[in-house]
Structure 1
Amino acid sequence: MRVTGVRQWIADFGFYNAIYVRIETDEGVVGEAEVAMRRRTRSVAALIEELSEYLIGRDPTRIEQHAERMYRDAFLGGTLLTIGISAIDQALWDLNGRALGVPVHRLLGGKFRDRVPVYTHAKAGGSPEELAAEIRDRVDRGFTAVKTTLPGFYEKVTSVKHDRPALIPARQTETELLPTWTFKVIAEYFAAAREAVGPDVHLMLDCHGRLNVANAIRLCEALAPYDLTFIEEPVPADRVDWMLEVSRRSTTPIAAGERWGNHFASAPFIGAHAVAVVQPDVGICGGITAARKIATCAEVHGLSIAFHNPFGPLQSAATWQLAATLPNLLISESMITPAQMQYWERYTEDPPRVENGEWVVTDAPGLGPRLRVEEIVKHPFKPELDRGGTR
């Protein structure tokens, strides 16, 4: 079997663009995948096109060899490259599963669990009562784990929604020393949330790397009574020394990893125990191949995995196929909302289903879902207005 072509489409996904990839072979077997980002979509599409040239005529069963060559032969690395590799790698795993008639989790060594726990999101809102109501709503929908953003920081943050008509200057606080009352107010939000849902619901906070070390430590101290499962990216994700200092001073587990890139980029953070929870993204780090290595590295160091995955159906399927095989899985992210599900249903056949906060592992060949290209082409790329970016 040889690769004869690689096709890709960019589709509007509401608040970002998704790239869908299909690898074709001379035996008629195909593999499909998805990657998504809120910026630089066309740059990644160009990378995928270049990587595709390497793949033509090659044996699609040599997944490890292709992952190594695509990364090593690029000379210059970086996360844009690994996002491109992620698309090809996921599609190769899907193709091999389809060729053999088995799910990807079987190729990865089989299921460690029959259900993959996932968490959903809640808006922080404008008051403690609003956050409590948001989280209560998610629990009423069947979720047992909910993550929110840093209360009070996002009304001034540049929107990354690509169809927004205007931009608002972002607030960056890495060099600010925030007043003590800031953390008391944030603590009030989580006190209300914890009271609303009780002790058994997992609560998580994503800071998106907006704080410096001093502020992050004070935040962790303020939130300690409310038993958060983890605090994500309290400081910039690329600062291993900052992350390590916060981890050492916090009784709440610190999480990061979505922006580190592949296993080589993740190794310094894991080796230093800069976090307790590692968050690889199968669509960013280099695909299933690289994410599996990150997970194994984390396991060796006694660290948990909580996959970053706020994107669509195929990337979710790839993430959860791998998650089902891992002994050190804590949980996986999901963006399961009525607004997002319309895209899942529109762009794929048999998208993943989450029931009571869990994905039930399936035995469908490959990743499971199939692309509906006839629908994807009706909703093409939409310009990304936010090119300046925020953390």
Structure 2
Amino acid sequence: MKIDRIRSWPVDFGLYNAVYVRVETDDGAVGEAEVAMRRRTRSVVALLEELGDELRGQDPTRIEQLSERMYRDAFLGGTLLTIGISAIDMALWDLNARALGVPVHRLLGGAFRDEVRVYTHARAGESPEALAETVRARVAAGFTAVKTTLPGFYEKVTSVRHENAQLVPPRQTETELLPPWIFGYIAEYFAAAREAAGPDVHLMVDCHGRLNVPSAIRLAEALAPYDLTFIEEPVPYERPDWLREVSSRVSTPIAAGERWGNHLASAPFIEQHTVGVAQPDVGICGGLTAAKKIATLAEAHGISVAFHNPFGPLQSAATWQLSATLPNFLLSESMLTPEQAPYWERYVENAPQVVDGFWRVDESPGLGPRLRIDELERSEPRFVLDLGGTR
């Protein structure tokens, strides 16, 4: 069995473009996957075409070898490269598991748990009451964990623009002055969210690296009464020393890792205990091969894993297959909001199901979902979504 070709389809996924991938072999075996790099769709498609040329004729069962070859032979790294590697790596795991008639989690060591806790999103909205209303709706839908973005920085935002003017301009850097009242303003939102959610629901906030160290510490202090499960990327992710300083001075766990390029990139953050929660993304870090290495390294340092995963059904399936096998798994992100859910059923058959905030581990071969090729070919990506506009 040899790799014959690698096909890809960029498609409209509402707030962004997704890229679906299929690895095909000369004997008819296939493996499928999904990735997204917001604002760089065409770059990902071009990279997949080049990687496909390099891998033609290779043995698809040698996943570890191919992962190493794709990364080292490129010479230059970065997340654009590892996103392309992620797509092919996940498809290879799917292909091999399908060929054996077993789920991917069986090849990754077997299920450690029977269900995977999944969290969803709630927009901050224009007021504390608006956030509280959305949180109540998410909890009523069965979710036991909800994340939002920083009020005043993000209220209602798409991939290309803020629909409302923000109190903190979207282009403001982390070193610029913030209004002195902003921390109390943000705290009002989380007071309302906690009251709406009750004491048992996990609440989290994503800062997208918008703060400096002193501001991040002030934010954590302001939100401490509301028992957040973690504060995500309070400072720019590139500096492990900044993350470590924040982590060492606040009581709320600090999370980061969605932009790690692979297990090598994650090592300084984990070994220096810069975070209490590691957030690798199987569609960014190099696929299941790299994500499992990151999770194992985190386990050795007593750090929990909460996967970054605001994407669609195939990447979610890959994320949750791995999550099921990990002793140090905490919870996984999902974008199962009312606006995004219809795309799940459009592009795949057997989309993973979340019931009462959990994905139940099943025995479907491979990753589980199967691509609807006819729908992929009918969909056209919206490249306006690649123009940027938000931090």
Question: What range is the shorter-chain TM-score in?
Answer: over 0.9
Stretches of 4+ aligned residues off by more than 6 angstroms: 164-169
TM-score (norm 2): 0.96
Distance 1:24 1:166, change over 3 A: farther
Shift, 1:165, TM fit: 11
1:13-24 to 2 correspondence within 5 Å? 13-24=13-24
Decide whether the 8 Å contact of 2:16 with 2:385 is kept in 1.
no
**Is structure 2 residue 66 aligned with structure 1 residue 71?**
no
- Counterpart of 1:256, as a letter, is A
Decide whether the 8 Å contact of 2:310 with 2:335 is kept in 1.
yes
State how far apart, in whole Å, the 2-side matches of 1:294 and 1:64 are: 15
Where does residue 148 of structure 1 map in the other structure?
148
Q: Deviations over 1:29-72 (max 9, x none)?
A: 10000001211111111111111112111110000000000001
SS in 1 for 2:330: strand
1:143-222 to 2 correspondence within 5 Å? 143-154=143-154, 159-161=158-160, 170-222=170-222
State how far apart, in whole Å, the 2-side matches of 1:141 and 1:166 are: 27
- Counterpart of 1:93, as a letter, is W
Where does residue 289 of structure 2 map in the other structure?
289
Where does residue 11 of structure 1 map in the other structure?
11
Unaligned 5+ residue runs, structure 1? Answer: none
Where does residue 31 of structure 1 map in the other structure?
31
TM-score (norm 1): 0.96
Aligned-pair Cα RMSD in Å: 1.8
- Counterpart of 1:321, as a letter, is Q
Shift, 1:390, TM fit: 3.7
Decide whether the 8 Å contact of 2:153 with 2:170 is kept in 1.
no
Shift, 1:98, TM fit: 0.5
Where does residue 378 of structure 2 map in the other structure?
378
User: Is the deviation greater in 144-153 or in 235-244?
Assistant: 235-244
Where does residue 369 of structure 1 map in the other structure?
369
Where does residue 136 of structure 1 map in the other structure?
136
State how far apart, in whole Å, the 2-side matches of 1:258 and 1:390 are: 17
SS in 2 for 1:339: coil
Shift, 1:339, TM fit: 2.2
State how far apart, in whole Å, the 2-side matches of 1:17 and 1:71 are: 24
Decide whether the 8 Å contact of 2:160 with 2:389 is kept in 1.
no
Decide whether the 8 Å contact of 2:155 with 2:164 is kept in 1.
no
Where does residue 306 of structure 2 map in the other structure?
306
State how far apart, in whole Å, the 1-side matches of 2:279 and 2:203 are: 16
Where does residue 110 of structure 1 map in the other structure?
110
**Is structure 2 residue 235 aligned with structure 1 residue 235?**
yes
Decide whether the 8 Å contact of 2:124 with 2:156 is kept in 1.
no
Decide whether the 8 Å contact of 1:156 with 1:171 is kept in 2.
no
* Corresponding pairs, count: 389
State how far apart, in whole Å, the 1-side matches of 2:336 and 2:34 are: 16
- Counterpart of 2:224, as a letter, is A
Q: Deviations over 1:226-250 (max 9, x none)?
A: 1000000001111111111111111
State how far apart, in whole Å, the 2-side matches of 1:280 and 1:232 are: 12
State how far apart, in whole Å, the 2-side matches of 1:341 and 1:388 are: 24
State how far apart, in whole Å, the 2-side matches of 1:85 and 1:386 are: 21
Decide whether the 8 Å contact of 1:156 with 1:170 is kept in 2.
no
Shift, 1:388, TM fit: 4.4
Decide whether the 8 Å contact of 2:232 with 2:254 is kept in 1.
yes
State how far apart, in whole Å, the 1-side matches of 2:59 and 2:295 are: 27
Unaligned 5+ residue runs, structure 2? Answer: none
Decide whether the 8 Å contact of 1:190 with 1:226 is kept in 2.
yes
- Counterpart of 1:291, as a letter, is A
Shift, 1:296, TM fit: 0.4
- Counterpart of 2:159, as a letter, is V
Where does residue 272 of structure 2 map in the other structure?
272
SS in 1 for 2:181: helix
Decide whether the 8 Å contact of 2:257 with 2:266 is kept in 1.
yes
Aligned identity (percent) is: 73
State how far apart, in whole Å, the 1-side matches of 2:163 and 2:210 are: 25
